[in-house]
């Protein structure tokens, strides 16, 4: 089961997660993805010994703007809380991390 509350995700470890990504420009208007833009999701450790280590990296298709985690992406990760961010790299090289320091929790199926 996947629960999304704002930028906080709670999901059962080993489940499939699909989430629609929305991008807005500085004016608050929806950003229209351009040819050559790249969007990526990165899930990171949050413990003090490896803070920020990327554990999972996914390219998000420009055509759908849907981030998908497959069961094998999380099934071997320890239960607990992780960080994630989503970054847009525009075709002109400008990088915009439009979701930063967000949280994702992996739970047991019974939680």
* Dihedral sign, Cα of residue 15, residue 43, residue 5, residue 95: negative
Whole-structure pTM value: 0.88
Residues 35-56: pLDDT tens digits?
Answer: 999 999 999 998 666 567 899 9
Calculated CA dihedral for residues 71, 76, 79, 80, nearest 10 degrees = -90
Residue 79 is encoded by which pair of tokens? 């239960």
Lowest-pLDDT choice from 13-22, 47-56, 63-72, 90-99: 47-56
**Token pair of 88, please?**
């847009």
Mean pLDDT for the chain? Answer: 91
At residue 71, φ and ψ (nearest 5 deg) are -50, -40
- Give the chain's length: 111
């Amino acid at each position: 089961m996947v629960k999304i509350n704002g930028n906080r995700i709670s999901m059962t470890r080993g489940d499939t997660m699909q989430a629609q990504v929305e991008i807005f420009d500085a004016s608050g208007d929806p950003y229209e993805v351009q040819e050559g833009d790249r969007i990526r999701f990165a899930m990171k450790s949050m413990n003090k010994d490896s803070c920020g280590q990327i554990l999972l990296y996914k390219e998000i298709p420009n055509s759908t703007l849907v981030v998908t985690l497959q069961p094998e992406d999380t099934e071997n990760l320890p239960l607990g809380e992780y960080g994630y961010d989503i970054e847009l790299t525009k075709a002109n090289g400008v990088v915009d991390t439009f979701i930063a320091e967000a949280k994702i929790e992996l739970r047991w199926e019974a939680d």
